[in-house]
Amino acid sequence: MDLSLLPDGGMRWLDAAGPKSTIVLSTRIRLARNVRGIPFSQRAKDSDRTAVVERVSEAAASTEHLASAVAFHLDQMDRTERQLLHERHLVSKELAGLERESRPRAGAALLVQDQVGVMVNEEDHLRLHGMWSGFDLEDAYAAVESVDAELGRLVPFAFHPEFGYLTSCPTNAGTGLRASVLIHLPGLVLTKEINKVLQGLSQVGLTFRGLYGEGSEVVGNFFQLSNQTTLGKTEDELIDHLGKIVRQVVEYEEQARDVLLRTAPEEVEDKTWRAYGLLKHARRLSFEETMNLLSGVRLGVGLNLLPGPGVYTLNKLLIYTQPAHLAAMDGRSTGDRELPTVRAAFVRRLLEAEPS
Amino acid sequence: MDLSLLPDGGMRWLDAAGPKSTIVLSTRIRLARNVRGIPFSQRAKDSDRTAVVERVSEAAASTEHLASAVAFHLDQMDRTERQLLHERHLVSKELAGLERESRPRAGAALLVQDQVGVMVNEEDHLRLHGMWSGFDLEDAYAAVESVDAELGRLVPFAFHPEFGYLTSCPTNAGTGLRASVLIHLPGLVLTKEINKVLQGLSQVGLTFRGLYGEGSEVVGNFFQLSNQTTLGKTEDELIDHLGKIVRQVVEYEEQARDVLLRTAPEEVEDKTWRAYGLLKHARRLSFEETMNLLSGVRLGVGLNLLPGPGVYTLNKLLIYTQPAHLAAMDGRSTGDRELPTVRAAFVRRLLEAEPS
């Protein structure tokens, strides 16, 4: 169960090499699939879930794209390890059994190879997902689609000729596709245009969430934008549509940043340098404050108001300053009172290695 | 009217060389005197005031301690220059004619030599004052007393055998002495003990004010403590009493700092480093925020939580980040919209020259 078995810890998407990666941190594709003939999640017994893991693992071994996948059996992992996977966006809170008082269900598992993962026994039997650096719907979809095709040849997926793929919750039926981008919109927030933009999204079938998916709050001006419906359109149509809208949102964000630079350049410069100064000197930092400060610094880097740090470092900080990451790094529990101190020290160490 | 004629700009007290100078920034002694036979301030005509200046200047020229004094005729100086003198604590707001819509009165003047100054035609004909680094009542009093003795031999001071020196306002009569210290009490503020201490002061005949004397607000945890009465005790008694109480307040402050270090060391360290980080990186700073941040840094330096900057630099920043100083330095008016930017740049420049 060693995360270090994963090249890049399963997070190549952090590298900021993708298109528009200052504004769009990552692109994620997920496909919901279920195994025909086995009861869906709500009705499944433990033996059904175990059967699913066995079927999927066996099939994966015979594919090209999952043959050397690392397998994580969540029901056999301790809480910090499971939280680590969650903080890396590799498993949902639900699958990892991280809701209060909960435990992972029998058969809860994750397979990961390169940038594609399969959550097993989440809300659906299979949730295939891929996360790509920057704004890159095409590559992310192509990768997940290949795995889907390979697995689909070996495991019979529940499919209805009229409705398409059948899923546990009808909102995911049809394509089973959710495409999303993690996008940083401080310009729209500062110019107070954000609500107009978010309202517009819902009118064109898109929805937004915080960093950790459904129900999570927006902090640090990081939004997840995704399609709301999965039915009645083809995968290509859904992806094209999301792509078009996200390009527009990116443009709005760039315009908002231009407005800020024109109307309040010193205030923006001040804001971003203060955020940098606090990150570089604070001795205690909560994760929420860290996110907000990283947002300020990221804006400054995007506008060339700050000479550094690099976007890769900013991305890494978003992930590695989360509780389980700090706890694991420092041999502590995620509830340790000293985590804010450990976090601040870690932030300083990473920033000091960077130009400023 | 060039301030550069003054060695150290009349501010040797900034050098932080005096006793306890991390906590007690400076000690100030002032004596109120009036010239016998000339109407006191409220009743004085312009010709009376001019007569006072002439008498005092002539006398000063024949003394040892004021013979080479620099003379500032406030009624012939522009506003920024007058404000500069006020920001250096060399003249009162009133004498400098800095209250709204006001102008300096005829004959308003200042003589300065070394660390002793004489305000002429303030509320009293003469206000002799000396400001010393750190907690040093004895040296400050000795210096002002010498000037007083020399001048008193040449100018007949209004004196009543029973009441002592007569003054414009009866609260200053008797000794005409006000002794005060500028003291930094962040420990007592953070531990919320400060109100108890301030209440105690009034019970032992002391009073407190903000940085700029009567009516000025306390910012940055800087307090001016001084004697409330001037009558019925000798100068030595008044000074001894103030000295005893201030020593006690310094002790309370030191105890409060110990409590902070014991009960919340990380919070204090965090607070002080954040203040330092903001001063070093902000691009716009108001004077009030600057004072508050300097207070945080000064506490950190006093507790050895921060390796620098030196107390001398912190003292200089308190003075030189004031509006008239920045304006004069940068060829601007004191109302210039860009002063916060000029201030932040100046703070960074001074801090960058220091260890950190």
Name the 3-class secondary structure at B185. Answer: coil
Give me the residue from B267, B273, B344 closest to A281, CB to CB: B273
- Same domain, yes or no: A278 and A162: no
Residue finishing a domain among A180, A199, A216: A180
- Half-sphere exposure at residue A196, Cβ-oriented, CA atoms within 13 angstroms: 9
Is the pLDDT at A10 greater than 80, yes or no?
no
Q: Compare B27 and A5 and report the one with higher pLDDT.
A: B27
pLDDT single digits (tens) A253-275:
999 999 999 999 999 999 999 99
Alpha carbons A36 and A20: distance in angstroms, whole number: 40
Across the range A233-240, mean pLDDT stands at 94
> Which of these, B52, B110, B53, lies nearest to B82 by C-alpha position?
B110
- Same domain, yes or no: A28 and A174: yes
In chain A, what residues touch B280 (CB-CB under 8 Å)? 277, 281
Across the range B151-155, mean pLDDT stands at 97
Do A283 and B270 make contact, defined as CB atoms within 8 angstroms? Answer: yes
Find the domain containing A270 and state its range: 265-352
Band of residue A4 on the pLDDT scale cut at 50, 70, 90: low
pLDDT, position B7: 63
pLDDT, position B211: 73
User: In 10 A of CB A330, how many CB atoms?
Assistant: 15
pLDDT, position B229: 85
pLDDT, position B199: 93
Give me the residue from A266, A267, A341 closest to B266, CB to CB: A341
pLDDT, position A330: 87
| Residue A247 contacts B, CB cutoff 8 Å | no
Most A CBs within 10 A among B269, B273, B293, B356, hence the mutation to make, goes to: B273
- Residue A322 distance to chain B (closest CA, Å): 19
Is-contact B107 B50, C-beta < 8 A? Answer: yes
| Residue A267 contacts B, CB cutoff 8 Å | yes
- Same domain, yes or no: B25 and B124: yes
CATH number of the CATH domain containing B131: 3.30.590.10
Give me the residue from A266, A270, A281 closest to B274, CB to CB: A281
In chain B, what residues touch A273 (CB-CB under 8 Å)? 281-283
pLDDT single digits (tens) B285-323:
999 999 999 999 999 999 999 998 999 999 999 999 999
- B211: tokens are 């940085």
| Residue A79 contacts B, CB cutoff 8 Å | no
User: In 10 A of CB B199, how many CB atoms?
Assistant: 9
Is-contact A163 A170, C-beta < 8 A? Answer: no
Alpha carbons A350 and A313: distance in angstroms, whole number: 7
- Residue B264 distance to chain A (closest CA, Å): 12
> Which of these, B184, B179, B315, B305, lies nearest to B249 by C-alpha position?
B184
Alpha carbons B85 and B74: distance in angstroms, whole number: 10
Name the helix (H) or strand (E) containing A57. Answer: helix A46-61
Do B283 and A277 make contact, defined as CB atoms within 8 angstroms? Answer: no
* Cα radius of gyration rounded to whole Å, chain B: 21
For chain B, the average pLDDT equals 93
Nearest residue in A to B267, CA atom: A284
Alpha carbons A174 and B200: distance in angstroms, whole number: 77
> Which of these, A25, A47, A27, lies nearest to A38 by C-alpha position?
A47
pLDDT, position B232: 86
Angle at B348 between CA B344 and CA B351, to 5 degrees: 140
For residue B214, list its beta bridge partners: none
Please report the beta strands in chain B, taking only residues with DSSP state E, as ranges in sequence order.
24-33, 70-73, 109-113, 116-120, 126-133, 159-160, 164-165, 177-184, 206-209, 222-227
Give me the residue from B266, B270, B281 closest to A273, CB to CB: B281
Sign of CA dihedral A66, A180, A81, A22: positive
Q: Is residue A259 part of a domain?
A: no
How many residue pairs bridge chain A and chain B with CB atoms within 8 Å of each other?
46
Nearest residue in B to A340, CA atom: B266
> Which of these, A143, A119, A263, lies nearest to A193 by C-alpha position?
A263
- Same domain, yes or no: B171 and B298: no
Domain count, chain A: 2
Alpha carbons B263 and B278: distance in angstroms, whole number: 25
Most B CBs within 10 A among A274, A293, A338, A356, hence the mutation to make, goes to: A274
Is the pLDDT at B2 greater than 80, yes or no?
no
Instruction: Please name the amino acid found at residue B306.
Output: L
Q: Is residue B218 part of a domain?
A: no
Angle at B83 between CA B239 and CA B182, to 5 degrees: 25
Is the pLDDT at B238 greater than 90, yes or no?
yes
Classify burial at B183, counting beta carbons within 10 Å of its beta carbon; exposed 0-12, middle 13-18, buried 19 or more: buried
Please report the beta strands in B134-230, taking only residues with DSSP state E, as ranges in sequence order.
159-160, 164-165, 177-184, 206-209, 222-227
Is the pLDDT at B1 greater than 60, yes or no?
no
Matching residue, tokens 């906590």:
B23
Q: Is residue A274 part of a domain?
A: yes
Is-contact B218 B210, C-beta < 8 A? Answer: yes
B179: left (phi > 0), else alpha (psi -120 to 50), else beta? beta
Do A278 and B277 make contact, defined as CB atoms within 8 angstroms? Answer: yes
- State CA B116 to chain mean position distance: 12
Q: Compare B168 and B15 and report the one with higher pLDDT.
A: B168
Alpha helix positions (H), A66-185: 79-87, 137-154
Name the helix (H) or strand (E) containing B339. Answer: helix B339-352
pLDDT, position A216: 67
Q: Is residue A236 part of a domain?
A: no
Q: Which of A8-22, A293-307, B88-102, B236-250 has the lowest mean pLDDT?
A: A8-22
Do A278 and B280 make contact, defined as CB atoms within 8 angstroms? Answer: no
Residue finishing a domain among A151, A180, A209: A180
> Which of these, A350, A346, A352, lies nearest to A322 by C-alpha position?
A346
Is the pLDDT at B214 greater than 70, yes or no?
no
Across the range A105-118, mean pLDDT stands at 95
Is the pLDDT at A356 greater than 60, yes or no?
no
pLDDT, position B37: 95
pLDDT, position B74: 96
pLDDT single digits (tens) A80-100:
999 999 999 999 999 999 988
Is the pLDDT at A333 greater than 60, yes or no?
yes
Q: Is residue B256 part of a domain?
A: no
Do B274 and A266 make contact, defined as CB atoms within 8 angstroms? Answer: no
Give me the residue from B266, B280, B283 closest to A283, CB to CB: B266
Across the range B209-224, mean pLDDT stands at 79
Residue finishing a domain among A119, A148, A180: A180
Across the range B211-225, mean pLDDT stands at 79
Alpha carbons B17 and B14: distance in angstroms, whole number: 8
| Residue B284 contacts A, CB cutoff 8 Å | yes
Most B CBs within 10 A among A268, A270, A351, hence the mutation to make, goes to: A270
Most A CBs within 10 A among B260, B269, B270, hence the mutation to make, goes to: B270
In chain A, what residues touch B308 (CB-CB under 8 Å)? none
> Which of these, A70, A42, A249, lies nearest to A241 by C-alpha position?
A249
Q: Is residue B281 part of a domain?
A: yes
- Same domain, yes or no: A163 and A276: no
B112: left (phi > 0), else alpha (psi -120 to 50), else beta? beta
- B237: tokens are 């008694």
In angstroms, what CA-CA distances link B177 with B26, B142, B168?
17, 13, 13
pLDDT, position B193: 95
Residue-wise DSSP of B244-297:
HHHHHHHHHHHHHHHHHHHH-HHHHHHHHHHHHHHHHH-S---HHHHHHHHHHH
- Half-sphere exposure at residue B21, Cβ-oriented, CA atoms within 13 angstroms: 19
pLDDT, position B212: 65
pLDDT, position A184: 96
Across the range B185-200, mean pLDDT stands at 95
pLDDT, position A61: 96
Is the pLDDT at A355 greater than 90, yes or no?
no
- Same domain, yes or no: A296 and A162: no
Is the pLDDT at A1 greater than 80, yes or no?
no
pLDDT single digits (tens) A127-177:
999 999 999 999 999 999 999 999 999 999 999 999 999 999 999 999 999
Matching residue, tokens 């609260």:
B171
Give me the residue from B273, B276, B281 closest to A274, CB to CB: B281
User: In 10 A of CB A46, how many CB atoms?
Assistant: 12
Q: Is residue B116 part of a domain?
A: yes
pLDDT, position A5: 59
Instruction: Please name the amino acid found at residue B67.
Output: A
Alpha carbons B53 and B50: distance in angstroms, whole number: 5
pLDDT, position B293: 97
- Same domain, yes or no: A174 and A316: no
Please give the share of chain A, as a percent, with pLDDT higher than 70. 96
- Residue B282 distance to chain A (closest CA, Å): 5
pLDDT, position B48: 97
Across the range A280-298, mean pLDDT stands at 96
Nearest residue in B to A341, CA atom: B266
Confidence (pTM): 0.90
Instruction: Please name the amino acid found at residue B221.
Output: N
Band of residue B102 on the pLDDT scale cut at 50, 70, 90: confident
- Half-sphere exposure at residue B146, Cβ-oriented, CA atoms within 13 angstroms: 15
pLDDT, position A18: 86
For residue A159, list its beta bridge partners: A165
Q: Is residue A254 part of a domain?
A: no
